[in-house]
Structure 1
Amino acid sequence: MILYGLKTCDTCRKALKSLPDAEFVDVRADRVPEAVLRTAHAQFGAALLNTRSTTWRGLAESERAGAPLDLLAAHPALMKRPLIEAGGRLYLGWTAEVRAALGAG
């Protein structure tokens, strides 16, 4: 299981605490592999972008209009977190549904 997120993100920390065997990948330092990012975008669409983040609010309107995958490549912190890869499936966020699917409290 791989958890993609930010080490400073409270939600990612909660997820890691509940999933102690997960490998953590900091998206700022190590990036999300392009294939994983493409699959996540195909599965989650616009939900993959965190449009409530300070990073998003700091972008110019012209930048926000860019292709989502290009935005995520340029600004990894724009990704909604955490993105979890487990058993060949992807999960986005740390909702009750995700926790239940992963068997985490």
Structure 2
Amino acid sequence: MNTIYYLASCDTCRKIIKSLPNSDKLQFHDIKQDPITEAELEAMHELSGSYEALFSKKAQLYKSMDLKNKNLTEADYKKYILEHYTFLSRPVFIIDGKIYIGNSQKNINEVISVLK
């Protein structure tokens, strides 16, 4: 099943979801209500190639925990994503075995074209 990992309270995620064609083909996974599991994160890692690619450096906790001044490893990125949903770059789409991470316009355009 094709899945979107998102945050229901995020305005950007809601705006993106409204713009999606055939969104009924997606399984919606609100990461705040239903935190991602280690197995789900490992599946995302396998598709993306790194935990850092899945990690949001825009998260408020990233700044408040002063993580930008630390030398984070792949294990650190994984640990933080599993500890708190805000560290997952959103939204994450897994469609037909391919992963799309984040809300860049290029990324969203690719997702829209794949869902058409």
TM-score in same-fold range (> 0.5): yes
Q: Hey, which bits of structure 1, 4+ residues long, moved more than 4 A?
A: none
Task: Compute the displacement of 1:9 (Å).
Answer: 1.4
Residues in 2 aligned to 1:79 and 1:100: alpha-carbon distance in whole angstroms: 20
Cα deviations by residue, 1:14-60 (Å, 9 ceiling, x for unpaired): 22112332322111221223233113234152121111211212225
Task: Give the 3 Å change call, closer, same or farther, for CA 12–44 of structure 1 in structure 2.
Answer: farther
The alignment-based identity, stated in percent, is: 26
Cα deviations by residue, 1:61-80 (Å, 9 ceiling, x for unpaired): 5xx64621111111111111
TM-score normalised over the length of structure 1: 0.78
Question: Aligned residue for 1:6?
Answer: 7
Residues in 2 aligned to 1:60 and 1:3: alpha-carbon distance in whole angstroms: 29
Which segments of 5 or more consecutive residues in structure 1 lack a partner in the other structure? none
Residues 1-105 of structure 1 aligned to structure 2 (within 5 Å): 1-19=2-20, 20-21=23-24, 22-42=26-46, 43-45=48-50, 46-59=52-65, 61=67, 65=72, 67-102=76-111, 103=113
Residues in 2 aligned to 1:8 and 1:44: alpha-carbon distance in whole angstroms: 28
Structure with the bigger percentage of helix = 2
Moved more, 95-104 or 21-30: 95-104
Which segments of 5 or more consecutive residues in structure 2 lack a partner in the other structure? none
Output the aligned Cα RMSD.
2.4
